[in-house]
Structure 1
Amino acid sequence: MNAPLVDISSVSHRFGQQTVLKNVSLQIEPGSYTILLGPSGSGKTTLLSILGGFVSPSEGKVFIRGEDCTSVPPAKRPTTTVFQDYALFPHMSVGANVGFGLRMQGVDGATRAAKAREALALVGLASAFDKKPHQLSGGQRQRVALARALVVEPAVLLLDEPLGALDLKLRRQMQDELKAIQKRVGTAFIHVTHDQEEAMALADHCVVMNDGRIEDEGPPERVYARPSTRFSATFMGESTILSGTVTEAKNGTISVATPAGAIMLPGTLQPGAKVALAVRPEHLVLVAAGGAVALGTAEVSDVVFQGSFKRVLATSTVDPALQFIAKAPASASVQTGDNVAVSCDAGDFILLTH
């Protein structure tokens, strides 16, 4: 088995008395697009700063290409960083901005210019070489920052919320372009965001962080469909959460007592075990469905039209603390105040033990 490109080993970090990273270990494979996903304060930006060499960890090691880079300064390690604010030099042309890293490496002017033109062509800005940054749109400036980072051919490209300053349409467009560029150049990208949709659009390796720890990691399809923890189930997309207790277990099946009634599903937990059952919005059905698990009735409290579907919030009539989140077809006639029957196929429950 090949060694990972990046190996973060038992990294912890403190700012004064506050511990912001708690014994984090993570491996990044060559050619992968890794997303560090989490809320503000989860430690994702600190971890990226440690990878880039801008922060030295309080404990632990960072290996890149098998070499210990824990104390290596940013300019000496095989990484480059793209920041949210682009950090372009306003007095320099676009070409000079892109070639700046090569200039710092002592590359001659002609080679710099040629490589800068290649990098700009890669991001679709071949004609912008002689322009100044203020003549470009926000999306174009983001692409210049990307070209400047890629021109020095880093082993790992670090992206700190690079699309956060863009409007929604441009952000979606840049997501598509980022993914295409990453596939073309084959460099490993590590990208910090708090946007779950961005994570699912870009990543082939998704790392969900919370309170300085890694909650879950894997392909985004798996993290979404079968999250490992309750936090992951509610942060990587939305979920209805049913708290429950295992009351019976035999022949690989458990019975879980929940506010919506007893639910049978595959499992080997012991009676008395506290669990949570998560259901994704697209798996909740707002009518009684034959063969599905009935979850009782609920009163619709909110309906939001979102184009291809309606997002429906409904409160259980049995337990007011139980809130259902469902996706109904855009054509559904459901309205606020309606009483609806709620059901779900047994195979769509996600069993969470922590």
Structure 2
Amino acid sequence: MSAPLVDIRDVSHRFGQHAALKNVSLAIEPGSYTILLGPSGSGKTTLLSILGGFVSPSEGKVFIRGEDCTSVPPAKRPTTTVFQDYALFPHMSVGGNVGFGLRMRGVDGTSRAARAREALALVGLAAAFDKKPHQLSGGQRQRVALARALVVEPAVLLLDEPLGALDLKLRRQMQDELKAIQKRVGTAFIHVTHDQEEAMALADHCVVMNDGRIEDEGPPERVYARPATRFSATFMGESTILAGKVTEVANGIITIATQAGPVSLPGTLRAGTAVALAIRPEHLVFGATAGTVALGGAKVNDVVFQGSFKRVLAMSTKDPALHFIAKASAAATVQAGDTVAVSCNAGDIILLAD
């Protein structure tokens, strides 16, 4: 197996008494699109700043292409960063902005202009070379910042919430463009966001962070379908969480007592073990169905139409503290005030250590 492009080893960082990162280790493969996903204060931006050389870790090492870059300044490491505010020079033309990094590296004017035009063509802005940043839309300025970062041919491109300032429609358009550009250039992208939908749309490697640690990592399909922790199950998409305790173990099947009733699943945990069960909204079914796990009745509190589906919030009639989050079809007749039976397939229940 080849060595990772980026190898973060036991990195910790403190701002005064606050521990922003706690013994983080992470490997990034060449050509991958990695998303660092987590809430504010989870450590994702601090980790990106350490990768870019803007912050030196309190402990640990960062290797890029096998070289120790822990103390290497930003301009001398094989990374470039696209910031949320784009940081374009307003007095320079778009071409001048894109070629600025090449200018700092001593590339002559003719070569600089040619490479800047190539980078702008890559992001679909070939005609903008002589314009000023203020003449461009937000999405176009974002692409200029991307071209400026890519023109110096970094081994790793770092993106700090680059779509955060865009409206929803433009953000989704730029997600498609970012993914397409990354596939064309083959550079490893490491992208910070707190937007779960953005993570699933872009990543082939998703890293879920919380309180300075990595909670879960892997392909987004796996992280969503089989999250490793309770936090990951609730942050990477929504889940209904049932708290429970194993009451019986027999022939590879465990029975778990929950506030919605007993649930039997394949497993080997010992009796008395506290667990949590997570169920994704699309897997909850209103109405009892043969062969499914019955989760009792629920009173519907709210129904929100969201285009292709209805988001339904309901409260268990057995335990008011248990709230179900479900996705029903757009044509479903369920409405607030209804009392419904709730069930799901046993194979769709995610068993988590509590």
Which category describes the TM-score, using the shorter chain as reference length? Answer: over 0.9
**Matching residue of 2:258:** 258
Q: Which residue pairs with 1:238 in the alignment?
A: 238
Kindly state the Cα deviation for residue 291 of structure 1 after the two structures are TM-superposed: 1.1
1:211-244 Cα offsets, whole Å, 9 max, x none, are 0000000000000000000000000000000000
Aligned twin of 1:120: 120
Partner amino acid, structure 1, of 2:129: F
1:89 matched residue in structure 2: 89
- Offset at residue 300 of structure 1 (A): 0.3
Counting only pairs closer than 5 Å after superposition, residues 1-354 of structure 1 correspond to structure 2 as 1-354=1-354
SS in 1 for 2:139: helix
Other structure's SS at 1:80 match: strand
Alpha-carbon deviation of 1:296? 0.4
The runs of 5 or more residues in structure 1 that have no matched partner are none
Amino acid aligned to 1:22: K
Q: Distance in 2 between matches of 1:7 and 1:251?
A: 42
CA-CA distance at 1:287 after TM superposition: 1.2
TM-score (norm 1): 1.00
Paired residue secondary structure (1:87): coil
Q: Distance in 2 between matches of 1:256 and 1:58?
A: 44
The 1-side partners of 2:286 and 2:329 are apart by: 10
Q: Distance in 2 between matches of 1:54 and 1:253?
A: 51
Give the partner amino acid of 1:255.
T
Please list the CA deviations of residues 173-211 of structure 1 after superposition, one character each: whole Å capped at 9, or x if unmatched: 000000000000000000000000000000000000000
TM-score of the aligned structures, taking structure 2 as reference length: 1.00
Give the partner amino acid of 1:327: K
| Amino acid in structure 1 at the alignment position of 2:210 | N
1:207 aligned counterpart, secondary structure: strand
For 1:258, the aligned partner's letter is T
> What displacement does 1:289 show?
1.3
Flag structure 2 segments of 5+ consecutive residues without an equivalent.
none
Secondary structure of 2:26's match? strand
CA distance in structure 1 between the partners assigned to 2:29 and 2:131 by the alignment:
37
Residue 252 of structure 1: how far off its partner (Å): 1.2
What SS is found at the alignment partner of 2:181? helix
The alpha carbon displacement at 1:268 in A equals 0.3
* Distance across 2 between alignment mates of 1:162 and 1:280: 29
**Matched residues, percent identical?**
86
The C-alpha deviation readout for 1:137-172, integer Å capped at 9, x for no partner, is 000000000000000000000000000000000000
**Match of 2:164, as an amino acid?**
G
SS of 1:233's equivalent in the other structure is helix
